[in-house]
Chain A
Amino acid sequence: MRTKKIAFLGVFLALALICSYVESLIPFSFGIPGVKLGLANIVVVIMLYTAGAKEAVCIGTLRILLSGFLFGNMFGILYSLAGGLLSFFVMYAVLRTEKFGVIPVSVCGGVSHNIGQLTVAVLVVENYRIYSYLPVLLFAGILTGFLIGVAAQEVIFRIRKV
């Protein structure tokens, strides 16, 4: 059982890394700096439902560190970690209420991810004016969170059946 779990988590980590890589290939820019689809978050959402919270946060953090070293830089890791961890805890809190489905959980994750990144950006450059990006990033978070939620939900339904 334990070895099976280790293998399972390894596959998930590989999948998350591939998602990061694919995303770094596509110039998926909405014309606004910092707005990304967040493809790797599909894996985190799926894991929240199928593998558990502890596993999801482990894989999410490892994925950010690894993809940061592979495709990004130290700054990128800092922003991603702030966004990723905040988004994970918000998603977990929404999930634990057991009132909402996959899509709103993912939407809350997307929004809080962008809030977390923006907050780190404000702290790093020590200029609160950057918060004027907030509305754009909120809308972007809702949109990308919705798309990720739809995709993750379809996978979750099918994984559960197996």
Chain B
Amino acid sequence: MKKRIGRKDLILIGVLLAAAFLIWLIITRMQPAAGASAVVTVDGDVYGTYPLSQNQEIPIMKGEKRTNLLVIKDGKADITEADCPDRLCVHQKPISMTNETIVCLPNKVVVSIEGSTESGIDSIAN
């Protein structure tokens, strides 16, 4: 028990770091392009799809209550207002790349960015 950190310990930590790095590489490869639209889902259902090219403010309503305010400005989507106590979603940075997300867990609101190639079906469905 005298030894503080051994060779096996370092190997295990190294393997974990390598695995994390690998997963990071894979995920960044999957989201290279600038996105075209912001998709808002509430409770897992699509609430709406908004193009990033157009500056606009979208209030996200849950019944009568406005839970979050989504602002699209200069091609970036950001949540600027929320009625939840911790307001973690407001503190998250504006997003513009595909598969980037802003999450509001208490309100179950997810804003994610989609590319232009796959949004064709969505825009018809909406």
User: Are B103 and A142 in contact (CB-based, < 8 A)?
Assistant: no
Q: Mark A122-162, 1 if CB is under 8 A from B, else 0.
A: 00111101111111101100100010000001000100100
Q: Is A100 an interface residue (CB 8 A)?
A: yes
A162 to B101 alpha-carbon distance, docked (Å): 50
Residues of A within 8 A of B41 (CB): 125-127
Count contacts on A: residues with CB < 8 A to the other chain: 32
Q: Is B44 an interface residue (CB 8 A)?
A: yes
User: Are A130 and B110 in contact (CB-based, < 8 A)?
Assistant: yes
Cβ distance A138 to chain B, nearest Cβ, rounded Å: 4
The one of B9, B23, B100, B109 that contacts A134, using a Cβ cutoff of 8 Å: B23
User: Are B92 and A33 in contact (CB-based, < 8 A)?
Assistant: yes
Residues of B within 8 A of A135 (CB): 20-21, 23-24, 27-28
User: Are B4 and A75 in contact (CB-based, < 8 A)?
Assistant: no
Q: Is B125 an interface residue (CB 8 A)?
A: no
Residues of A within 8 A of B109 (CB): 125
Q: Is A54 an interface residue (CB 8 A)?
A: no
Q: Is B108 an interface residue (CB 8 A)?
A: yes
Which DSSP category, helix, strand, loop or mixed, fits chain A's interface?
Answer: helix
**Residue of B9, B85, B99, B106 with highest tally of chain A CB at under 10 A:** B9
A108 to B9 alpha-carbon distance, docked (Å): 11
A109 to B110 alpha-carbon distance, docked (Å): 28
Count contacts on B: residues with CB < 8 A to the other chain: 37
A75 to B1 alpha-carbon distance, docked (Å): 39
Contacts A100-B9, A111-B16 aside, 15 further interface pairs with beta carbons under 8 A come to: A33-B92, A34-B88, A75-B105, A100-B12, A104-B9, A107-B13, A125-B44, A126-B108, A130-B103, A131-B27, A132-B27, A138-B20, A139-B24, A153-B4, A157-B1
Binding site for B on A (CB under 8 A): 33-34, 73, 75, 99-101, 103-104, 107-108, 111, 121, 124-127, 129-136, 138-139, 142, 146, 153, 157, 160
Binding site for A on B (CB under 8 A): 1, 3-6, 8-9, 12-13, 16-17, 19-21, 23-24, 27-28, 31, 41, 43-44, 85, 88-89, 91-92, 99-101, 103, 105-106, 108-110, 112
